[in-house]
Amino acid sequence: MKNEIILERLESLEQKINPIAESAESIKELKEQLTPRVNEAVKALIVELVDIEDDFQFEDLIFFTKKVLRNVKNLTFALDQLKNLIDFAIAVEPLLKTTVPQVIASLDEFEQKGLLRIFSQVPSKIDLRDSKDVSMFGLVKALSDPEVKAGMGVLIELTKGLSAMKNEQVP
């Protein structure tokens, strides 16, 4: 009877130990499989670190780490803003896909009509660096100058033309 109790306890212990032994065996097999891969990774890391050995200073890493830790809030803010910029770009992309070809077509039309040629000649004919601020009274006085009158006439005709082009494109 005592032998039977001992045998039952041994069986119970054996049943409890078997999963642990199987787990240990699995871990041993995993270790045997991973050891060569880890050794390869370490060798590759050493080869790569040799390339930067002359440029790397441990003090620089410490300085960099301190800077990062001091600026975590700024880095978080910058990442949030970058996310907002990416979201904006994603939202605007469909609009740009339709708008850019229209802008190109309009510029092509301006070029065919010679408007871009006129605009390209304007900077060579006008010295904008010599321009001065003009008050309301100075504007009224300037309107008595024949060149200003002629320029205003060109500006008004250009404005009318732009308005007509806009009205042609609006459905």
- The pLDDT tens digits of the residues spanning 56-83 come to 788 888 999 999 999 999 999 999 999 9
Q: Is residue 157 scored above 80 in pLDDT?
A: yes
pLDDT score for 88: 92
Cα Dmax for the chain: 131
* CA geometry: angle 111, 115, 120, nearest 5 deg: 95
Residue spans per domain, the chain: 1-56, 72-131, 133-171
pTM assigned to the model: 0.34
For tokens 């077509």, name the residue: 105
Q: Is residue 171 scored above 70 in pLDDT?
A: no
Is the distance from CB of 119 to CB of 113 less than 8 angstroms? no
- The pLDDT tens digits of the residues spanning 10-34 come to 888 888 888 888 888 888 898 999 9
Q: What is the mean pLDDT of the chain?
A: 85
- The pLDDT tens digits of the residues spanning 95-146 come to 888 888 888 888 888 888 777 776 666 666 667 677 788 888 888 888 899 9
